[in-house]
Structure 1
Amino acid sequence: MFQTAFTLSLTQFARTLSLPERLQRSPARNLVLEGLRQRNLALDALFYDVNVITPEEAFYISDSLAAEGAIMIVPPSGCGALTLCETIDEFILRGGADARALAVAGIGGSALGAAAFARNVADAVDAPVAVVVSGYGIADVITEAFGGLFFFGHLKGLRPMLERLDDLAGRPKVGAYRDGTAARTSLDTRTVQALLADPRLSFRLLAGHSKGNLVLSAALHNLWKQDEARVSELAKNTKIVTIGTRIAMPSVFTDVVDVMGEWDWFGEINSRPFIHADQRIPQAWHHTNTDLGGHLPVTTTLREILAISPIIENPKLAEEQTAALGAVSEPTKPEAEVPLPSPLGGKPTATIDKVRKAFSAGILPAVQPVESSVADDLQPPTSH
């Protein structure tokens, strides 16, 4: 709990330091929203495993906490710092094309919560993960007043329309802001959709938590209406794991695992009743913060799911993985001596460790951190 409190306090302190500069641009909007953003930051600190974010990373993203549509590249713990990107082109330029997993968080919508959830996913696959920031603006305030924070599944069409107020108030033009669909979908959904539609990118795992599952579902359904061939290709090799909320995905996706906590009443009232949970985590609620009791352990849960059903289903990719496994295996050690994978918890066994080494070294090279200039309350640039 101490680490969570420290990370939250450091982020709030760094955020306060940048307030005078941010007030120079859209002062009324920033003054109105700052208190609510700080509140949502505290929510994310409680609901997400923020202790996996280093103090340097927390300071780095502090002035971009509510930059809706911003994209981050989050490597596993101890493998370098995260990278913040303003556009999809910048994301690809800084190594995003190597990411094979895309994560979307919910709850407070801050960059801190998104980074923490993505770090849990990255630790599970031992490779960098892309994550989109949901942000918090005027549209969120209004939908929250109508109950959208609680029953978000039933008011999903209200927020995109109200986001035009955010545009008029001068929010930053990051993510997929310029794709021309502002009146139909929210910016975080548009950015996720643009990432999935981009032929330069190839994701094998889509993971969402809470409201992030709604964003992921909306992006896939919108893409299905525009490009059925692209979605069908994605569905052949992509696994979807929803955590904390069961939301319907396009029917073409058959490899979907819905995970719920045994005590998660919040997730239940926001889930579709006709979708049954594939896995229930004993004595777990909606939050994923390992500093608190009753948490849902994202990393160990994903490891168990991926051990049973691997991400890579494509035969060509499977052959590449097999070749990589042979390159990293120890020829002098008989196969019979390799221990079987363990269930939840504990360190990975030798077999899983080999798969991770091959998966990371052969398919997912490490992403080097590069500094970004995105700031959620600064005047948006005229061009990218």
Structure 2
Amino acid sequence: MEKIEDLLSLVAHEKGLDKEEVKEAFKRSIIKIAKKYIGDIDVEIDLENKMGIYQIFEVVNDDRALENSEKYLYLDEARDFEPDIQLGDKLKVELDLSKLGRSGANSLQREFEKEVTRLLENEIYRKLISKLNTIVTGEVIKVDSEENTWVDLNGVKGVLPMRNRIKGEKFEVGDVLKALLKFVHFDDKRGIVIELSRTSPKFLEKLIEKAVPEVRDGIIKIHASARIPGIRSKVAVSSINPRIEPIGTIIGKNGVRINAVSNELNGENIDVIEYSNKPEIYIARALSPAIIKSVKINEKDGVAIVEVDPEQKAKAIGKNGVNITLASMLTKYKIVLEDAKEKTKDTSKLESLFKI
């Protein structure tokens, strides 16, 4: 049995798994295969110090010992192992694995390999779960007929569905791709399912975090973001340090920081605004570059009535309604321009496509 324990320690070391988990996996394998090849036996495995695999018998003095010799043992036979044993006691006898035969031994090996594979998948799953909503980088290994992009992430495959790809983007095998780790699921048939995204607002936030040390250090906080991927986005930020101006810091000298983020997003235009906990101010800033005259909030309906001069309406709405849509998504208010209800396009369908 010491050889088995040494083997399990080696497996744990080579696979980077917990030794006790590997022992438990072997225990499950032995019990399953022993029951299949030897019969309906009771098996106990002692994992303390030296490993022992035992068959459990009940001590009897009747025909049960003849009818089911794998579970019952006559008293006189039991006393050959343990002289003081009594009727009704349980006797542990070390299991002879040769009873499994060659077929059983092969089955035990396959079953244990399956158990170790499950442990590896669970370990990978735990690591991936800890990386949810972070940026991962991998090499494109396949683009399927539905234009889903498959990516190698250190030995596991993730998929960037076409719906999570920025419009106009195309990837080829061998390309290095950055994306947000959006979703991880364990499927009994398919194994680990990993979904990536380049359209999530969280991807934008994480790119800014990587590009701006002040965001990583917590000096500048990103309160919210909204995107129409590949076209335009808005980010609301604030600074806990009055000496650090949040908008200029994120944009960087000559726009170097924000341009780097925009380039990663296929040229997406990024508006950075300063957050305010006063809804009226927040909404007015969100509608930039338009200059707003006044904002009235209806909290019950979640509506903001915004008054703008006629020459500012086009800016407030934006091309194809993009600016007012993003402002609504960012602030979580339905924004209505006063005296311009007829001219303001219904952008609810557009907005629903890009909610977090």
TM-score (norm 1): 0.23
Structure number having the greater strand percentage:
2
Largest Rg, 1 or 2: 2
